[in-house]
Amino acid sequence: MEKKNIDWSNLGFGYIETEKRFVSNYKNGAWDEGALVSDSMITMSECAGVLQYAQTCFEGMKAYTTEDGRIVTFRPDLNAARMEDSCKRLQMPVFPQDKFIEAVSKVVEANEAYVPPYGSGATLYIRPYMFGSSPVIGVKPADEYQFRIFATPVGPYFKGGVKPLTIRVSDFDRAAPNGTGHIKAGLNYAMSLYPIVTAHEEGYDENMYLDPKTRTKVEETGGANFLFITKDGKVVTPKSSSILPSITRRSLMQVAKDYLGLEVEEREVYLDELENFAECGLCGTAAVISPVGKVVDHGKEICFPSGMNDMGPVTKKLYDTLTGIQMGRIEAPEGWIHVIK
Ligand SMILES: *Cc1c(COP(=O)(O)O)cnc(C)c1O
């Protein structure tokens, strides 16, 4: 199979249309078989549930080439399970988890020419999503839904080396205490656009959102969970029912414990204890971990000892170990690497 002529290491994070996508429709209470199709366009009612009341959720994962040339995805079972949680919370039908994993494999295989080669730093980003497609005007769930998966090649996250981020404490809230923060809903992102655009305009890379009830505890950013390293090398991650359960973060916590022998703790993390930490990172599928060098809380700067030039030493070890597991250089825990071919 011949790869596409793409300058993999200079790819950005943008949409590039690939050849095939998976589409399945839900109608009369059941999903159809689903199929790979070539048409990237969607035609639906002007009154579709997704257009009127934002009934939609998504997942994000990637396929990539390992050191020994296999094409794999990382823990797709957890994406399937999380999408089930998202669908249930939004009154959407669940796409069966085994079929989800199968469909991901089909899309990757059908677009094999777009799976970047090992060592390029690029990956094939996979986007499963679902939306209410039938007309809805009185507020209620749609009767019909579409589940789709497309794939698009994306470049290495850290082009030209790692650069620690500067983030600000946001005055906006990401998720209500008993709202939808724990599911991957498009609506959580729509409301984060104003805070992120203004953050960028003011020179910050990301927003740190606090718990909306007390505004004293750290939640997450718009699209990544926090990890903190204490001065004595313990790995701490915030605990809250309104944080999206990042698969990367859960994997890193396990790597910290089982591979690096570090103490790990999921607990409430207060804003006023940030200055005690040695390192800070953001975790998500795209970057695995992005180091944070500085948090700015309304003019007060909290600078982590790891500084503004490099990843902190523990963050780096976590990053190297998890990416080593993903790329097949380090033996993976049972079930983490899903081989497509
Ligand atoms: C997707 C997402 C993450 C990261 O989750 P991963 O499974 O690690 O990619 C973190 N926070 C939010 C709000 C997200 O939507």
Q: Which amino acid is at 10?
A: N
CA–centroid distance, residue 249 to ligand 1 (Å): 9
60 ligand 1 Cβ < 6 A = yes
122 ligand 1 Cβ < 6 A = no
> Residue 322 corresponds to which tokens in the numbers above?
């998890």
Q: Which of 89, 121, 154 is the last residue of a domain?
A: 154
**Phi-psi label, residue 201: left if phi above 0, alpha if psi -120 to 50, beta otherwise:** alpha
Q: Find out whether 130 and 147 touch, Cβ atoms under 8 Å.
A: yes
CA of 78, closest atom in ligand 1 = 7
Same domain, yes or no, for 127 and 225? Answer: no
Q: Which CATH number covers residue 133?
A: 3.30.470.10
**Is residue 253 domain-resident?**
yes
CA of 82, closest atom in ligand 1 = 7
Report the alpha-carbon distance of residue 341 to residue 329 in Å, rounded.
17
Same domain, yes or no, for 111 and 179? Answer: no
**Is residue 62 domain-resident?**
yes
180 ligand 1 Cβ < 6 A = no
CA 181-186-192 angle, to 5 degrees, is 70
Q: What is the pLDDT at residue 250?
A: 98
Same domain, yes or no, for 130 and 247? Answer: no
Which residues are registered as beta bridge partners of 339? 72
Atom 13 (ligand 1): residue with closest C-alpha? 223
CA–centroid distance, residue 184 to ligand 1 (Å): 8
**Is residue 336 domain-resident?**
no
CA 130-199-231 angle, to 5 degrees, is 95
Q: Find out whether 135 and 45 touch, Cβ atoms under 8 Å.
A: yes
Could you identify the residue written with the tokens 């007060």?
Answer: 300
Same domain, yes or no, for 110 and 183? Answer: no
**Is residue 339 domain-resident?**
no
User: How many folded domains does the chain comprise?
Assistant: 2
| Residue 99 designated active-site | no
Please give the C-alpha separations between residue 146 and each of 78, 79, 113, 130, 267, in angstroms, as whole numbers.
Answer: 21, 18, 26, 6, 38
76 ligand 1 Cβ < 6 A = no
Closest CA to 258 of 330, 329, 158: 330
Report the alpha-carbon distance of residue 196 to residue 175 in Å, rounded.
15
Tens digit of pLDDT at every position of the chain (341 positions) = 789 999 998 999 999 999 999 999 999 999 999 999 999 999 999 999 999 999 999 999 999 999 999 999 999 999 999 999 999 999 999 999 999 999 999 999 999 999 999 999 999 999 999 999 999 999 999 999 999 999 999 998 877 778 999 999 999 999 999 999 999 999 999 999 999 999 999 999 999 999 999 999 999 999 999 999 999 999 999 999 999 999 999 999 999 999 999 999 999 999 999 999 999 999 999 899 999 999 999 999 999 999 999 999 999 999 999 999 999 999 999 999 999 99
Same domain, yes or no, for 229 and 272? Answer: yes
Same domain, yes or no, for 78 and 182? Answer: no
Active-site pick, 184, 217, 294, 317: 184
**Is residue 126 domain-resident?**
yes
**What range does the domain containing 118 cover?**
8-154
Atom 14 (ligand 1): residue with closest C-alpha? 223
CA–centroid distance, residue 243 to ligand 1 (Å): 9
Same domain, yes or no, for 180 and 281? Answer: yes
**Is residue 85 domain-resident?**
yes
**Is residue 92 domain-resident?**
yes
> Residue 129 corresponds to which tokens in the numbers above?
């999503």
Tell me the DSSP string of 107-154: HHHHTGGGSPPTTSS-EEEEEEEEEE-SB--SSS--S-EEEEEEEEEE
**Is residue 28 domain-resident?**
yes
Same domain, yes or no, for 300 and 171? Answer: yes
CA–centroid distance, residue 28 to ligand 1 (Å): 32
- Residue 169 — φ and ψ, nearest 5°? -80, 125
Query: Would you say how long the chain is, in residues?
Result: 341
> Residue 217 corresponds to which tokens in the numbers above?
């505890």
Could you identify the residue written with the tokens 């199968």?
Answer: 102
